Structure 1
């Protein structure tokens, strides 16, 4: 299995990748499946392969050992929406009037920014779709939709054949959005089950479309706060402690292991490229332990 590990201080941090996959894929006789895992607010120091000791991450460490670990990349922005805009478009997010996290219409006006990513922008999934890929997005989007922004373009406008989004998306999945908010204890898929839900959807999509090359976003909610690693923590969200973070990181790592095992069961482990990264670095940093000593972090 081929893999690229773009971790919070490694890939977090790239703005110019959108055109490269299409060029390399077009020259290959059999184009690889591509799974793009984006962990929300992950820190470089959260991973063992970058020297972190907050939690054991053997599956992610193995992914790094089996592939390429990148360490000289920068995020398009130290906050969610513009960083994601850079990853999707391969361009500076300010060019598309996304300069902070997308929020209410009034909040977006105060930031002098758009309410959603313009579908006229370059799009990595659209470019791959036009090159013959089946495309899907499962997980957090945060490039339009949610709050009072009720007219964002659908996922299809950006080049996705299938999608299941969270609350801040044009098409939130009903099992994730019982309440009109980012998450709720009443959601059918609980906060601590979401990463597994996204992995399951990704594997199912690839299984159904395995005769074509597939590009799949698996964009996680974790380890963004609140850390709700299990039912015992659901009653007291907002207590952001190291033990809770440890449990969240262990679950992310377990699900990456499930993803790789699922690909092996499908016989696709040698024909799949996994890209693993974060959007903008960690918060809180726990005295820079989560940044592995680097001074930058989310909101820096």
Structure 2
């Protein structure tokens, strides 16, 4: 079953990057245009069409609709995973599911138990790391589910300057 990316992207409580520029260039200094703020929202179990910007008429979502109207919406992006951890891994790393190290919501790997999901490996480059390298300050808020804090999957070890949330 293919699930549209908006199912995962436009609602709060995702283990998501919420990066913002570390410092906006002063436009009067001639240093070029300011980089945009980036707010990436990922939600579990949000169905296509459950927000006004995708056609929902019964439930009002004006703030999310405004964000979607001013930014980028994913209209033809699908996840190859039926559960949250691999979908999060794919979105965070940009890897195809066949190349991602997290394949299910299991809680043990090679005999080691993890409270939550398996950790992203140290060699995986996340969107947070790429944005940080480009000069952005990064923060993740909400559900993480990509490794406990004492592993390579910790959000702080995966490029986030700040994280406030939980591992499922």
Please name the residue that 2:29 is paired with. none
- 5+ residue gaps, structure 1: 1-7, 15-27, 169-300
**TM-score of the pair, normalised by structure 2:** 0.68
Q: CA RMSD in A?
A: 2.9
Contact 1:13–1:74, Cα closer than 8 Å, also in 2? no
- Using the TM superposition, give the Cα deviation of residue 68 of structure 1 relative to its aligned residue in structure 2, in angstroms: 4.2
Give the whole-Å Cα distance in 1 for the aligned partners of 2:111 and 2:80: 19
Which structure is richer in relative contact order (CA contacts within 8 A, separation 6 or more)? 1
More helix by share: 1
Please state if 1:30 is matched with 2:34: yes
- Using the TM superposition, give the Cα deviation of residue 57 of structure 1 relative to its aligned residue in structure 2, in angstroms: 1.6
- Using the TM superposition, give the Cα deviation of residue 12 of structure 1 relative to its aligned residue in structure 2, in angstroms: 4.2
Which of 131, 136, 143 is the aligned partner of 2:134?
131
Please name the residue that 2:45 is paired with. 41
Please name the residue that 1:160 is paired with. 160
Which of 88, 99, 103 is the aligned partner of 2:103?
99
Please state if 1:9 is matched with 2:4: yes
Q: 1:97 to 1:137 in 2, by over 3 A?
A: same
Query: How many matched pairs?
Result: 139
Contact 1:12–1:73, Cα closer than 8 Å, also in 2? no
Which of 64, 69, 88 is the aligned partner of 1:60?
64
**TM-score of the pair, normalised by structure 1:** 0.41
Q: 1:106 to 1:72 in 2, by over 3 A?
A: closer
Residues 15-66 of structure 1: CA deviation (Å, up to 9, x unaligned):
xxxxxxxxxxxxx632122121112211113112222245222222233333
Contact 1:12–1:75, Cα closer than 8 Å, also in 2? no
Q: 1:29 to 1:36 in 2, by over 3 A?
A: same
Q: 1:64 to 1:160 in 2, by over 3 A?
A: closer
